[in-house]
Structure 1
Amino acid sequence: MSQSKYQINILSGNPPLDDSYYNPDDAELAFYRSQTGITDDRALKDHAIEVQKEAYKVYAYPCIRRFAFMNLKISRLPAYSRFLSLGKEREGAIFLDIGCCFGNDVRKAIADGYPMKNCIASDLERDFWKLGHRLFNTTPETFPVPFIAGDAFNPDFLKPVPPFYSAPELPAPQLAQITSLTPLLGHISAIHASSFFHLFDEEQQLELARSLAGLLSPQPGSLIFGMHNGRREKGFRVEQGEPGQAGSYMFCHSPESWKELWDGEVFAKGTVRVEAELQETQRRDIHAAPGTKFYWMMWSVTRL
């Protein structure tokens, strides 16, 4: 998640927090018990609520209000098993979790075997990463994944370049020593970006896709993957009711338009395999007509 100057999905007033949105499933509870060391479910809920309150002060994202940071997003993506295999089989396969918020996805990947030494995380809000340490009861010493705060649209932080079709001339830098994403151009084996693209309009989503593509290694199997709000037909999400609600002017791609964007506009046609599918989701936080359907789009872009 990020709140760059390009963000368009702004709430008109912040709705109050509501504990009833706290509803982790059994797999999520097991993960958070193991990662936080808090085994009592009531204590875990109280702990999550306290962190949520602090995060909502930093920036009142709807996903903070809905406890989306408790969801296991990355591990439920179709490309996840290929991603884990890449991390285990490719020497030095750098993984970037961008728009990482509290870092729950990079922590899940590491728990499932992705080498911690090859991981790095980034978000606009440094305070979210700090709150992640609080949520998981860790410190930068006990969980030493490098974090870089910055705006992915800022060329001083991430220089926009065309995708690499051959190995970059410079070697990959030491992750703990960099202060921006630019030194990683052409070196990243896997990029995870969830609940990120839908913060921006159509033109900005293309700009962001091109910037992330410049980071990706040209080696076959390198991938960018994630999930965000989508529609059956691309366009602004107008299904909800009152203007000013979460996502009132959110631009959403369809699986077809998302594939066309990456295969031909961002990467040269035929040099990537793009997979995208819609998964229906419930959004009781959005006032809409009965029967209105909302969707997550789950996707991956893999270099051939």
Structure 2
Amino acid sequence: MMILNSLAIAIDVLHSAGIFRTKGIVDNLKSGTWTRYLEVGCGLGQDIRKLIQDGVPKTSVLGTDLLPGLLESGQELFQDAGALPLGQSLFAADFLDTSNDNVLSKASLDGTVDVIHATMFLHCFDRPTQLLACKRILTLLKSNPGVMIVGKQGGVAKGAGAREHPVKGPMGQVGGVVRTNFLHDVDSFKALWDEVGQATGTRWDVQVREEEVMDRGYLYFDEEEHRWLSFAITML
């Protein structure tokens, strides 16, 4: 039941973001204009399967998650371990590991990705760790203008900053873990990417939209201040 609940929540997030259709991601991957998509924190990998269902070559889609059990549960749920094998299409990896022998670099992914999907990901960290994660994203992307980072995450209407609270949602129901997240508003999210650009010598068009939490997001963020932030970030 927990797996099915997680799947429903993740699908809600993706559909309400309208990420793939509005930004031409599916068309670019189907035509071969783009050759590699990577989802960070992919969990069960349902969005990867949706891209394949929409006609994207399975050789073009990759996913990574910290928890190998989630990847394996996705294979069991969708019964497609042969089509999306661990270590080839799906990678159990610590995304923040920047050592020379990290899993993604050893798989020769650095500098090869056209679009990175990072939904429900950056808001899991404090701001210094978010900056580290953004820089790590850049090491995986190609250096071509037009490559993209897209996603959706929890945020606030105004007053960005750290929030300390018990982990919510199906993945936070065990252990009473308390963590500190940095939740952005629109302005602070753009400022984060300004800092990323300054630190890496890159330039980005940052499109970010605030949405009221009208779906299953209340399972994660139940205070009146919380909003969804949908974003599409393009290298200039």
- TM-score using structure 2 length: 0.79
Residue correspondences, number = 218
**Amino acid paired to 2:209:** E
Q: Structure 2 vs 1, CA of residues 195 and 284 (structure 1 numbering), >3 Å: closer, same or farther?
A: closer
CA distance in 2, matches of 1:255, 1:203: 18
CA distance in 2, matches of 1:280, 1:111: 29
CA distance in 1, matches of 2:37, 2:207: 20
Aligned positions of 1:59-70 closer than 5 A: 64=6, 67-69=8-10
Correspondence for 2:210: 278
Residue ranges of structure 2 left out of the alignment (5+ in a row):
169-177
1:215 aligns with 2:140: yes
1:103 aligns with 2:18: no
Structure with more strand by fraction? 2
3-state SS, counterpart of residue 93 of structure 1: coil
Deviation at 1:295, TM superposition (A): 0.9
**Rg larger in structure:** 1
Deviation at 1:88, TM superposition (A): 2.5
Instruction: Indicate the percent of aligned positions where both proteins have the same amino acid.
Output: 24
CA distance in 1, matches of 2:52, 2:3: 22
Q: Structure 2 vs 1, CA of residues 196 and 270 (structure 1 numbering), >3 Å: closer, same or farther?
A: closer
1:241-295 superposed Cα distances (whole Å, 9 cap, x missing partner): xx53638743111111111222343366772211111111145547967xx2421
Correspondence for 2:162 among 228, 236, 244:
236
Correspondence for 1:180 among 79, 88, 104:
104
Contact 1:263 1:273 in 2 (8 A): no
3-state SS, counterpart of residue 152 of structure 1: coil
Contact 1:225 1:300 in 2 (8 A): yes
**Amino acid paired to 1:196:** F
1:250 aligns with 2:181: yes
1:134 aligns with 2:76: yes
Correspondence for 1:147 among 72, 79, 90:
90
Q: Structure 2 vs 1, CA of residues 157 and 108 (structure 1 numbering), >3 Å: closer, same or farther?
A: farther
- TM-score using structure 1 length: 0.63
Aligned positions of 1:1-304 closer than 5 A: 49=1, 51-52=3-4, 64=6, 67-69=8-10, 71-81=11-21, 82-91=24-33, 93-136=35-78, 138-144=79-85, 146-156=89-99, 179-181=103-105, 183-232=108-157, 233-237=159-163, 244=166, 246=168, 249-266=180-197, 271-282=203-214, 284-285=218-219, 292-304=224-236
CA distance in 2, matches of 1:120, 1:252: 27
CA distance in 2, matches of 1:287, 1:146: 31
Structure with more helix by fraction? 2
Residue ranges of structure 1 left out of the alignment (5+ in a row):
1-48, 53-62, 160-178
**Amino acid paired to 1:294:** H
